[in-house]
């Protein structure tokens, strides 16, 4: 952009020399160098912190689907990458053993309730004692709790979508056996109920960024288009500043100035809903500083948007 503006300045100087508005001397011929230096110092350097720019990406939450119970898969009724609503069945596990457990506990509970009634009647007639009634009552409550757990396990043999979204890369098939282990998820589910747009801004340029600042975004997948947005959140931590429990003494590592992460909210929230997670873009944030440089940044972002037709990376 500096070169572009300098060339415009050179063209104006050449035209003014030709029509004899300016003298054709060394000072006039060297003035483009001074012009470029002044642009750099008073416009483009302040623009870096007054209207910082950085990379942006479309993010969505990924949920690892781990069943609450183990068993053999009997049905996988969904297709990979096809949108489903919250509560749609993802797959089913053979419920035979879990249904049998429910039936068994129902039978035991009926007998325990009958014994409780009998002991209660005997106590009322002074033919029994209070301990037998309390013991029978505790047995009924225990069986009811076990029955609730068994019903929950039976219901858990049908695994449903936790939100609106889609399952991707489905390798699960009928006949496969799944386990209730966090390290062995059955499938990955992409939650599309919320679309997150995050930008990375170099630390040196973030000092004037505030929540609510105006921003603009252009995506590689949508060349030529620029979307209005606002700064929604400035994440208060990155992995460089995270301390984790390890049981080891402090271990020196290579430190560096990593970008800070800024979360953005589009003025048109549904504009990015159809974009795949991972869609790359460029963002410009307009702070309260260096307002004179904002028009230049807007022009540069739109130039980037049109260059997206030609530059694939």
| 10-37 pLDDT per residue, tens | 888 888 888 878 888 888 778 888 878 8
Residue with tokens 């990375």: 200
pLDDT band of residue 247 (cuts 50, 70, 90) is: confident
CATH classification of the domain holding 182: 2.40.50.100
Assess if residue 223 is contained within a domain.
no
Query: Do 6 and 96 reside in the same domain of the chain?
Result: no
Assigned domain for 301 exists: no
| pLDDT mean over 67-86 | 95
Whether 98 and 183 map to the same domain: the answer is yes
Structural domain of residue 133, as residue ranges?
Answer: 69-190
In a domain, 165, yes or no: yes
Specify whether 10 is located in the same domain as 106.
no
Q: Quick: pLDDT tens for 32-74.
A: 888 788 878 878 888 998 999 999 999 999 999 999 999 999 9
Residues 6+ apart with CB under 8 A from 223: 305, 306, 307, 308, 309
- Percentage above 70 pLDDT, the chain: 99
SS3 content of the chain, % helix, strand, coil (to 5): 40, 25, 35
Residue 127: pLDDT over 80 = no
pLDDT score for 2: 73
Q: Which of 161, 190, 219 is the last residue of a domain?
A: 190
Does 63 fall in a domain? no
User: Higher model confidence: residue 26 or residue 197?
Assistant: 197
Between 119 and 142, name the one with better pLDDT. 142
On whether both 113 and 183 belong to a single domain, the answer is: yes
Residue 234 lies in a domain: no
What is the average pLDDT across 282-300?
Answer: 93
Structural domains counted in the chain: 2
Q: Strand 214-219 and strand 227-234: pairing?
A: antiparallel
| Confidence check: pLDDT of 159 > 90 | yes
Number of Cβ atoms within 10 Å of the Cβ of 89: 14
């Amino acid at each position: 952009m500096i070169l572009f503006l300098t060339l415009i300045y050179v063209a104006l100087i050449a035209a003014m020399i030709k029509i004899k508005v300016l003298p054709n001397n060394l000072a006039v011929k060297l003035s483009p160098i001074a012009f470029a230096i002044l642009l750099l110092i008073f416009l483009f350097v302040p623009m870096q912190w007054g209207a910082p720019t950085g990379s942006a990406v479309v993010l969505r939450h990924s949920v690892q689907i781990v069943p609450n119970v183990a068993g053999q898969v009997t049905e996988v009724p969904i297709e990979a990458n096809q949108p489903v609503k919250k509560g749609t069945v993802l797959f089913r596990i053979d419920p035979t053993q879990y249904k049998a457990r429910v039936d068994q506990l129902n039978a035991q509970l009926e007998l325990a309730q009958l014994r409780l009634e009998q002991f209660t009647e005997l106590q009322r007639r002074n033919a029994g004692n209070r301990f037998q009634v309390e013991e029978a009552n505790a047995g009924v409550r225990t069986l009811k709790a076990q029955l609730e757990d068994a019903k929950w396990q039976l219901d858990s043999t049908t695994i449903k979508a936790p939100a609106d979204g889609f399952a991707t890369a489905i390798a699960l098939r009928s006949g496969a056996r799944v386990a209730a282990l966090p390290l062995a998820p059955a499938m990955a589910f992409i939650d599309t109920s919320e679309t997150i747009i995050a930008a990375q801004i170099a630390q040196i340029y973030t000092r004037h960024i505030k929540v609510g600042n105006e921003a603009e975004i252009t995506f590689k997948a949508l060349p030529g288009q620029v979307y209005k947005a606002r700064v929604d959140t400035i994440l208060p931590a990155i992995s460089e500043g995270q301390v984790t429990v390890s049981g080891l003494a402090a271990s020196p590592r290579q430190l560096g100035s990593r970008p800070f992460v800024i979360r953005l909210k589009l003025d048109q929230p549904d504009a990015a809903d159809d974009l795949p997670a991972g869609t790359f873009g460029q963002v410009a944030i307009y702070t309260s500083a260096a307002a004179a440089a904002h028009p230049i940044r807007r022009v540069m972002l739109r130039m980037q948007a049109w260059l997206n037709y030609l530059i694939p990376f």
